[in-house]
Structure 1
Amino acid sequence: VAALDGAPGIFSARWAGPDKDFAFAMRRVEERLEEIGSDDRRAWFTSALAVAWPNGPAVVVEGQVHGLLTFPPRGDRGFGYDPIFIPEGQTQTFGELDPAVKDALSHRARAFEKLKAALME
């Protein structure tokens, strides 16, 4: 989340507490944005993948999807922060999008495409 200096970042699951309650985590993000008085809703998901060959160099790639946060959460598909994240070029949250559309747009798909391309070189 841009306004939170990249938080929750790699600690996104920890923001959900010990019960991994992502409804709680989404409320926590919204509350933090309200506390700092920010209207900046830019956010992104990042996925990193690596392959280390026994006798060769490691291949490391990163995929990202950028978008905006919306509150209250919308949709019951997906998991984690999907119901508050609208990817660029879309009007629905990841939680509302058809799973095939979400999967094609996701940071994971982008990372795997980059990894595939790197491994084919």
Structure 2
Amino acid sequence: MELLLETVALFCLKLAYETEDSSPILRDDLVMSEYEREVFGLLVRRGDVEGIRTKVSECLRLALNAVGGVDTVLGRELHRLAAEFAHSQTIEQLDAPLISLKEYLKEIQ
């Protein structure tokens, strides 16, 4: 789960901050420090669903702004997927929405 959370955060931050003329954002970049696997791992071990949702939601807001907000086709779908994620109540319920988010963010990179 930690890798999946980190991947979703990475794809969001890539959308928000990566430009064509810059080097790609990688997992070990400073911008990823609050969203790295170990940070998510601690939240998962604690069963802190709210903490996980908060961290991922921060990244999703950045990605949503990067695609032009909810008034765009990409933004509407991202908002829909983010809402599904936000309604998860347990660690187990996070899996399916996270996989959907990861796949969608990967596609729109």
TM, length-normalised to structure 1: 0.26
**More strand per residue:** 1
Structure of greater Rg: 1
User: Which structure has more RCO (C-alpha within 8 Å, separation ≥ 6)?
Assistant: 2
**More helix per residue:** 2
TM, length-normalised to structure 2: 0.28
